[in-house]
């Protein structure tokens, strides 16, 4: 079976299509959202999601989150005695979603359509695909998050020529996509965004406000202090939508610090973030050759769009209220599931042609002639420009520079700078050409880019008719199937916590965190409650464990509500 997966910065989730309906797959705890957090305890046991999140409150050096922001890089995260890349951490999250789906659906899940931000470059998309393979999933299709959201909103079922803007503000990334529907073709006209802008940054604004008001240096905070501060800021951020004001309550050095803020001040402090958002929106509209007034409908995606200040900003910018009929947390996963059904040619899905765009310009390095007849190297020649509808194929003819030149080096680059060195190198081809006078030998360089982010470079030597082809896979070392299998074996020795014990372990971690945050009689009471639950666990009676778990859950919930 093929499922759709939204691999998010803050939360991840999966969905499936069956009997004409798209539904979210609940995780092992019965929840729709699985926090994109991984932890490793002192025994080498790996946990994912809520359990990892709670473990991280107590052991911040043994848990990692927000690693999607470094996808496709060499950055390593140390968790206890182990080191992982963001690709490998993502594989743990994907494997948890796969196992949850198999448990819920009662059948094997072998393939997934995984979403990525529209602005993810080739390296990041490739790393996402490899993370899926490490998790035991076949990943033939990577879908852009805004495109998936457009599908979930049913934009392809609208009538007439309609223009949409998908505003996708998640936990760690921001995408804006302009789409146009014409007959049965849903075409992405332009994309823009920022891989380092999201809900986490709106939380950081509140964290900084507390530290500024209380004159505390961030560098002086311990890891546990930082986690408590982030948690307090998160809770306050969510409160703004309900009350229009919030108190950020932060426990620091046994003292409870409170910082009060209203919506107006919060909006003011977020001015720079909104300016970044506005810049991306303006760029997408410019690339699509449209004005804001040309947009018929704005749809919201991503948990951060639930913030009242974000909704107000969008309404003012477009002078219309956005469409929020689909849960913004779930839209991408639902759309990915519909795309999976389309891939399976499910007859319940309306036949629609989906087009995407190339998010970054693809080109090569060339030398340009100066006025004195000399040539200057290091310049960038765009071949497929950003926001070109894909699949696309473009050709440029290049000539030799020197007499008796024997080789032409094609550097395949991705980026927007006019200088080649400032762009991302994704591949190299060296072409042998016949010796001749400068400018007498030429090659046609053809780039062909498809919806699965595969770039084929074809070079034809004009004088001989010889053709060379290469699929460019990036300048990083790609993993072979054998390497993937070997790495999976390396990861498999880590003992993932058993499914049937996870809910109990999560509850114990939560109790321990609340114990640390409490004092006096409350702390004593939590200690008694935890010991009672541990006794029930030792008893190994399913009935007693269930009763004790429900009691402890109720007590802790009541305690949190009273706080």
Q: What residues act catalytically? A: 6, 68, 145, 168
What's the distance, Cα to Cα, between the start and end of the chain in Å?
45
Query: CB under 8 Å to 132, separation ≥6 — which residues?
Result: 5, 91, 94, 112, 114, 138, 139
> Could you write out the three-class secondary structure of 10-39?
CEEEEEEEECCEEEEECCCCCCCCEECEEE
Q: How many Å apart are CA 490 and CA 485, to the nearest integer?
A: 9
Residue length, the chain?
563
- Do residues 206 and 261 lie in contact, with contact meaning Cβ atoms separated by under 8 Å? yes
Q: Are 42 and 63 in contact (CB under 8 A)?
A: no
Q: Are 230 and 280 in contact (CB under 8 A)?
A: no
Name every residue whose Cβ is closer than 8 Å to that of residue 297 and which is 6 or more positions away in sequence: 155, 162, 163, 164, 165, 323
Say how many CA atoms lie within 13 Å of 71 toward its Cβ: 32
What does the block give as tokens for 234? Answer: 């998160």
Assign 538 to helix, strand or coil: helix
SS3 321: coil
Spatial CB neighbours of 436, under 8 Å, sequence gap ≥ 6: 400, 403, 404, 405, 463
């Amino acid at each position: 079976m093929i499922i759709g997966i939204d691999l998010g910065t803050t939360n991840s989730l999966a969905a499936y299509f069956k009997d004409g309906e798209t539904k979210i797959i609940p995780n092992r705890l019965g929840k729709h959202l699985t926090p994109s957090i991984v932890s490793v305890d002192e025994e080498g046991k790996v946990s994912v999601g809520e359990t990892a999140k709670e473990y991280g409150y107590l052991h911040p050096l043994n848990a990692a989150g927000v690693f999607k922001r470094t996808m496709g890089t060499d950055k390593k995260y140390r968790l206890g005695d182990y080191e992982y890349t963001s690709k490998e951490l993502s594989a743990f999250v994907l494997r948890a979603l796969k196992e949850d789906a198999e448990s819920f659906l009662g059948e094997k899940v072998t393939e997934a359509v995984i979403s990525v931000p529209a602005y993810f470059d080739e390296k990041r998309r490739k790393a996402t695909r490899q993370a899926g393979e490490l998790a035991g999933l076949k990943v033939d299709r990577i879908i852009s998050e805004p495109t998936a959201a457009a599908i979930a909103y049913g934009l392809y079922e609208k009538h007439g020529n309609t223009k949409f803007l998908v505003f996708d503000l998640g936990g760690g990334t921001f995408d804006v996509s302009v789409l146009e529907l014409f007959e049965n073709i849903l075409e992405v006209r332009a994309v823009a965004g920022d891989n380092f802008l999201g809900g986490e940054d709106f939380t950081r604004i509140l964290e900084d406000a507390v530290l500024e008001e209380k004159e505390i240096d961030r560098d002086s905070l311990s890891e546990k202090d930082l986690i408590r501060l982030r948690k307090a800021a998160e809770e306050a951020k969510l409160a703004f939508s309900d009350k229009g004001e919030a108190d950020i309550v932060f426990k620091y050095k046994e003292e409870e610090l409170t910082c009060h803020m209203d919506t107006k001040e919060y909006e003011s402090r977020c001015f720079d973030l909104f300016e970044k958002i506005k810049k991306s929106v303006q760029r997408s509209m410019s690339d699509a050759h449209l004005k804001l007034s040309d947009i018929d409908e704005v749809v919201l995606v991503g948990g951060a769009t639930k913030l009242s200040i974000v909704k107000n900003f969008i309404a003012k910018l477009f002078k219309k209220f956005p469409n929020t009929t689909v849960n913004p947390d779930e839209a991408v996963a639902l759309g990915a599931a519909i795309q999976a059904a389309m891939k399976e040619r499910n007859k319940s899905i309306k036949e629609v042609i989906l087009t995407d765009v190339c998010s970054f310009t693809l080109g090569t390095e060339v030398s340009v002639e100066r006025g004195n007849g000399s040539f200057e190297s290091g310049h960038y020649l765009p071949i497929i420009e950003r926001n070109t509808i894909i699949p696309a194929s473009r050709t440029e003819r290049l000539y030799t520079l020197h007499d008796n030149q024997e080789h032409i080096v094609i550097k395949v680059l991705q980026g927007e700078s006019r200088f080649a060195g400032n762009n991302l190198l994704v591949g190299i081809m060296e072409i042998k050409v016949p010796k001749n006078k400068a400018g007498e030998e030429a090659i046609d360089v053809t780039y062909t880019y498809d919806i699965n982010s595969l770039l084929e470079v074809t070079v034809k030597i004009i004088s001989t008719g010889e053709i060379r082809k290469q699929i460019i896979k990036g300048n990083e070392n790609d993993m072979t199937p054998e390497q993937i299998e070997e790495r999976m074996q390396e990861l498999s020795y880590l003992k993932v916590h058993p499914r049937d014990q996870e809910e109990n372990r999560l509850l114990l971690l939560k109790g321990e965190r609340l114990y640390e945050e409490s004092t006096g009689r409350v702390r004593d009471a939590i200690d008694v409650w935890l010991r009672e639950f541990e006794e029930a666990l030792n008893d190994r009676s399913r009935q007693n464990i269930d009763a004790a778990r429900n009691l402890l859950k109720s007590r802790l919930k009541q305690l949190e509500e009273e706080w």
